[in-house]
Structure 1
Amino acid sequence: MEGLKNFFDMLGGWVWGPAMLVLLVGTGVLLTVVLKGLQFSMLGYALKQAFRPHPKKHDGSDHDGDISHFGALMTALSATIGTGNIAGVATAVVLGGPGAVFWMWITAIFGMATKYGEGVLAVKYRVVNKRGEMSGGPMYYIERGLNMKWMALLFALFGTIASFGIGSSVQANSVAMSIQSSFSVDPWITGVILTVLTGIVILGGIKSIARAASIIVPFMAILYVLGGLGIILLHVDLLWPAIERIVSDAFNFSAAAGGMAGAAIRYGVARGVFSNEAGMGSAPIAAAAAKTDHPVRQALVSMTGTFLDTIIVCSITGIVLVMGILSNQSPAGETGAALTTHTFNNMLPGPGGWIVTFGLIFFAYSTILGWCYYGEKCAAYVFGDGFVPFYRLIYVATVMLGTIASLDLVWSAADTFNGLMAIPNLIALLLLYKVIVSETKDFKAKRQSGELP
């Protein structure tokens, strides 16, 4: 087992090396250029689409799809807003310094273009499966757009395997450890409850998952953001110094700083991508299920997910942590969720720590639900729709396993397969960028002519 873990550590180090980070950010930069900064010019319009009812046909009936724009966005956010927003940001700040927060912002800005491109292709190339449900995502636009079935199968296989780690067992372990630390509840008790709650929701498929996500994600995100804003307002004198520190450390290349900017870039980009999943190929699987009148409309909604996840939620964590560093209220020697919890608690005694604890629990649970849908669609692509019930049983079992087992090997393997998913997806985005541009022009033309609202 130790040898297998070492193998995945080595492979993961290669997969998540500088080449991958350049490919991830570079794809976003390319799409930003060819789309003429669409994430800036249309962000306001995109946010309105995310929270409006999905458009109807002229006869009042729904367009093809399984769930609303909002449901698709919440399903995607349920999988992205998770431990990365709490533990991941803290890890980035510890390893890369306050400047890592700045590079998370840069990653998110270009990641919005990437997430948009994924959304366009997901809806354009989606299909209806034998159960009458929408199926889409990288495996379908790789196969139907590029005629590369082998690469589509690779993506789906990587996605299936990754879902059991990053989606179920790792998240379940985070919930169990958090509850044990805060409430002294045995992990197996948490495991039983979490397993039952997960099984009840996922048996209903995407509609059930979207309903649960549409309740959990907004409630918990708003509570977490309000808690963070409360801390910022209570210590508003530290806000500007914190922002100055974030920006100055991001560009501090002096030898005296020990290569601070290099570490900030490395960990800021890596944790930013881990948090918002732009370019990973997971979110477009949810986008493909949306009821929409044009691929671009849902792609714009998908794009807002990166904005909400990183520019809003991750920024709250990052700014509070840097304010804690400046005021000596961030405990030295700690990292991950523990650092965020203690910093929130020190700067907002009483509710601060509880906000992080409950945020971690609910964010992780919603991630379990969202990733089940991703993994299910990937498994169905590889093994056929008849495999879905077996996949769900295995997935639920790994939720229970994650709460009671040591996960060092699972962490290493999940991180590796999560990165492997991105490679075929990014290749497809680069090869199909002209399709993304063409669909964008078509949408704008139809809006100008009044054909689309």
Structure 2
Amino acid sequence: MFDQIFALINTLLWDYYVLLVMLIAAGVWFTLKLDFIQFRYFGHMFSVMRGSTQGGKSGISSFGALCTSLSARVGTGNLAGVAVAISVGGAGAIFWMWVIALLGMAIGFAESALGQLYKIRDDHGEFRGGPAYYIQQGLNKRWLAIAFSLCIFLGYGLIFSSVQANSITDALNHAYDFPPLYSGIVIATIAGIIVVGGLRSIANFSQLIVPFMGLGYVLVTLAITLWNLDAIPGVLYNIVTSAFGINEAAGGTIGAAIQHGVKRGLYSNEAGSGSVPQAAAAATPYPNHPVSQGMVQMLGVFIDTIILCSCTAFIILLAGGGAEQQMEGIRMTQDAMTFHLGAGGSDFVAAAICLFSFSSVVANYAYAESNLHMFKMDNKMGRIGFTAAYLIMVLWGSSASLPRVWVMADVALGLMTVINVIAIIWLTPTIVSITKDYFASRDKGDTPEYKTGQCPIQGNTESGIW
């Protein structure tokens, strides 16, 4: 029965292109409203990272927030998700991944700036925020805020970590024949040790592991790409022609390419889903302005999809991968890497998926935990109950079947995205207002600093934050 319900929701959201249209429309909307911010201020995304390593008593650093968001973003979507997109949608799915990422950069900017603007202090004096908070404070729609919080509990608190655990155990089973249940127990144990320390513990873990794993993966894939440099023009031609159905023999129809490219692209970079604003809100930004966190998280979308997902795509396509008769996951990526590196390729991907996916497992906890405050569960018993449910789902996911886990993940992500996209479009006047304020200060040569009342916004921010 539950499988039928999930299948129905997925059909409505994905097969009828509801989310595809919403995301593309929102991406175009914010690209135009913000004067092509992801292109005009591309270099500024990187410059904002200077001085971003210092946090405060109430919040983590901007760099910590970026690493935490990348911990959640950089995971199954980059390795297994890209393989799924190619196996079902063909090489053309990668083109649509790129499109949704470029448009998603503007969406990511908008939602993260809002998350930072409408943040609050929890019972421990630490910053918390996200869509539920800017929906409640900016739009005064508590019922919609509660609906989003329930979706993120279901998605990031329970299901998404199951997806990540599933990819880890499948990779280890494929490479070393490790029993999934035993691997799942180890994953749940280590995750439990990290998440009990709260958001700061998760941010510290992310700052340690994300730069190491991301750079290592890029260097290996770059070396393989350079080794096969003569084949790159053919791969790019395959991607572009398949994206528009010109070269359907290469795999996938245009509809499948668009659908699965957008779906897996969204799952990977999370732009528009409303997840990243939880990390953005937890930061003490530099400069001390909500827009600076928008710039930081816009960079995160670029790193995740344009760089890391492209690395995986080139590895698979250079190995001759394409549309398959059935959905392929991490094993397709492992087989491709084995093609390039020999027997060590499977070991490398197994190690990469363990690091990538495990970092997502712990970051997902932080996103859902940020919403406990909405239900007045931001206390010892509330955290214990949520943590127990989260760890049980990690263990369950380690042995679940791949198609069922992905279907549940798509439903949770889809519902979150619908609510969040509606909210941020509703809050467009505020996003435009604070963005103009930021760049007006910057154009004068001043360091932007936001203060309550200096530019018009919808609703109200919590007193004492700005």
* TM-score between the two structures when normalised by the length of structure 2: 0.89
Q: Any idea what SS the aligned residue of 1:385 has?
A: coil
In structure 2, what is the equivalent of residue 18 of structure 1? 17
Judge conservation of contact 2:164–2:360 (CA < 8 Å) in 1. yes
Residue 183 in structure 1 maps to residue 182 in structure 2? no
Matches within 5 A, 1:241-260: 241-252=234-245, 260=253
* Cross-structure match for 1:337: 330
Q: C-alpha offsets along residues 314-337 of structure 1, whole Å, 9 cap, x if unaligned?
A: 011112222222xxx779667221
Kindly indicate whether residue 137 of structure 2 is the aligned counterpart of residue 137 of structure 1.
Answer: no
Which deviates further from its counterpart, 220-229 or 410-419?
A: 410-419
- 2:361 is aligned, of 361, 368, 385, to 368
Aligned length: 442
| Native 8 Å contact 2:122 2:373 kept in 1 | no
2:255 is aligned to: 262
Is 1:443 equivalent to 2:438 in the alignment? yes
Contact 1:227–1:352, Cα closer than 8 Å, also in 2: no
Matches within 5 A, 1:139-154: 139-154=132-147
**Residue in structure 1 matched with residue 392 of structure 2 by the alignment:** 397
SS at match of 1:14: helix
| Cα separation, 1, equivalents of 2:250 and 2:366 | 45
> Counterparts of 1:443 and 1:235 in 2: how far apart (Å)?
44
- Residues 319, 255 of structure 1: alpha-carbon distance in 2 compared, 3 angstrom cutoff: closer
Query: Shift of the alpha carbon at 1:53?
Result: 2.5
**2: distance between equivalents of 1:265 and 1:319?**
18
**Which residue number corresponds to residue 294 of structure 1?**
289
Measure the CA separation in 1 of the matches of 2:111 and 2:306: 19
- The corresponding residue for 1:161 is 154
Aligned partners of 2:36 and 2:289: how far apart in 1? 20
Measure, in 2, the Cα distance between the counterparts of 1:164 and 1:400.
Answer: 13
- Counterpart in the other structure of 1:49: 48
Distance in 1 (alpha carbons) for counterparts of 2:143 and 2:282: 24
CA distance in 2, matches of 1:9, 1:181: 28
Q: Which residue of 2 aligns with 1:8?
A: 6
Separation of aligned partners in 2, 1:185 and 1:94? 25
Distance change >3 Å, CA 391–CA 258, structure 1 → 2:
closer
Matching of residues 45-444 of structure 1 within 5 Å: 45-50=44-49, 52-54=50-52, 65-252=58-245, 260-292=253-285, 293-325=288-320, 335-386=328-379, 387-405=382-400, 409-444=404-439
Contact kept? 1:108, 1:307, Cα under 8 Å:
yes
Shift in CA distance, 146/6, structure 1 to aligned 2, threshold 3 Å: same
Structure with the bigger percentage of helix:
1
**d(CA) in 2 for partners of 1:345 and 1:282?**
34
Contact persistence 1:227–1:355 (CA under 8 A) = no
Residue 38 of structure 1: aligned partner:
37
RMSD of aligned Cα (Å): 2.2
8 Å Cα contact 2:45-2:299 kept in structure 1 = yes
Rounded Cα–Cα distance in structure 2 between residues aligned with 1:147 and 1:390: 29
TM-score by length of 1: 0.92
Where 1:280 maps in the other structure, the secondary structure is: coil
- Aligned-residue sequence identity (percent) comes to 39
Gaps of 5+ in 2: 449-466
Tell me if structure 1 keeps the 8 A contact 2:129–2:281.
Answer: yes
Deviation at 1:182, TM superposition (A): 1.5
